[in-house]
Homo-oligomer: A and B are copies of this chain.
Amino acid sequence: MKLATLKDGTRDGRLVVVSRDLSRACGAGSVAPTLQRALDDWKRAAPPLEELSSRLNRGAAADAFPFDPHLAAAPLPRAYQFADGSGYRHHGELMKRAFDTDNKIGFPLHEPLMYQGCSDNLIGPCEDIVLAEEAWGIDFEGEIAVITDDVPMQVPPEEAGAAIRLVMLVNDVSLRNLIMPELAKGFGFVQSKSASSFSPVAVTPEELGDAWRGGTVQLPLRIHLNGTEFGRANAGIGATFTFPQFIAHVARTRRLSAGSIVGGGTVSNAEPGVGSSCIAERRAQERIAYGEPRTPFLKFGDRIRIEMLDAEGRSVFGAIDQSVAPWRKA
Contacts and interface: CB of A to CB of B under 8 A. Distances in A.
B120 A257 contact: yes
Q: Is chain A's interface secondary structure helix, strand, loop, or mixed overall? A: loop
Nearest to A190: B114
A78 interface: yes
A108 B188 contact: no
Interface residues of A, number: 59
Interface string A69-90: 0000000001111010010000
Contacts of A252: 132, 191
A86 B105 CA distance: 21
Interface string A7-37: 0000100000000000000000000000000
Interface stretch (A58-66, A177-185, A207-215, A266-274): A177-185
B257 A78 contact: yes
Contacts of A182: 186
Given A178-B253, A253-B175, A120 B187 contact: no
A79 B259 CA distance: 12
B253 A194 contact: yes
Interface string A160-173: 00000000000000
A300 interface: no
A254 B118 contact: yes
A189 B153 contact: no
A256 interface: yes
A255 interface: yes
30 contacts: A11-B40, A11-B257, A11-B258, A80-B119, A80-B120, A80-B121, A81-B118, A83-B118, A105-B185, A114-B187, A116-B117, A116-B188, A116-B190, A120-B259, A131-B253, A132-B252, A132-B253, A153-B327, A175-B253, A182-B186, A186-B186, A187-B189, A188-B188, A190-B249, A190-B250, A191-B249, A191-B250, A191-B253, A192-B253, A195-B255
